[in-house]
Amino acid sequence: MSGQDDPEDLEADAEAVEVRIVAVGPADAGGRIDKVLAGLAPELSRARLQALIAQGRVSHGGTPITDASSKAQPGDYRIEIPAPVAAEPAPGDRADGVVRRRPSDRHRQAGGDGCSSGAW
């Protein structure tokens, strides 16, 4: 390999991230950045924005925002939204959504012998 990034890999990475530009006006400036951006981009929850900020995926003027509680400044904010990752089924999960558990799991959940009648 030449040490350079493969163009196909770069295209796949670019497709995996949606970029949103959110303009914060002077009237919105001064509030918490996570709350202001959540109000201007209602499809993103405040918790999701906090996670994106913690991951370094929100920037203002090319500088990553590092604190979700920092004050919003007027201008454009760049938000990188990664594509959702499919959840892996856990062992014991079925395709129909029914989760099978061993009797020992019920025992732990019940906090005792797992069966109040003593039939076990």
pTM: 0.60
Q: What is the pLDDT of residues 63-111, one digit of tens each?
A: 999 999 999 999 999 999 998 877 776 666 666 666 666 666 555 555 5
Give the span between the Cα atoms of 66 and 56, in whole angstroms.
Answer: 7
Q: What is the mean pLDDT of residues 18-26?
A: 96
Q: What is the pLDDT of residues 26-44, one digit of tens each?
A: 999 999 999 999 999 999 9
If you count them, how many residues does the chain have? 120
**Model confidence at 61: pLDDT above 80:** yes
Report CA 81 to chain centroid distance, whole Å: 8
Q: What is the mean pLDDT of residues 5-31?
A: 76
Q: What is the 3-state secondary structure (H, E, C) of the chain?
A: CCCCCCHHHHHHHHHCEEEEEEEECCCCCCCEHHHHHHHHCCCCCHHHHHHHHHCCCEEECCEECCCCCCECCCEEEEEEEECCCCCCCCCCECCCCCECCCHHHHHHHHCCCCCCCCCC
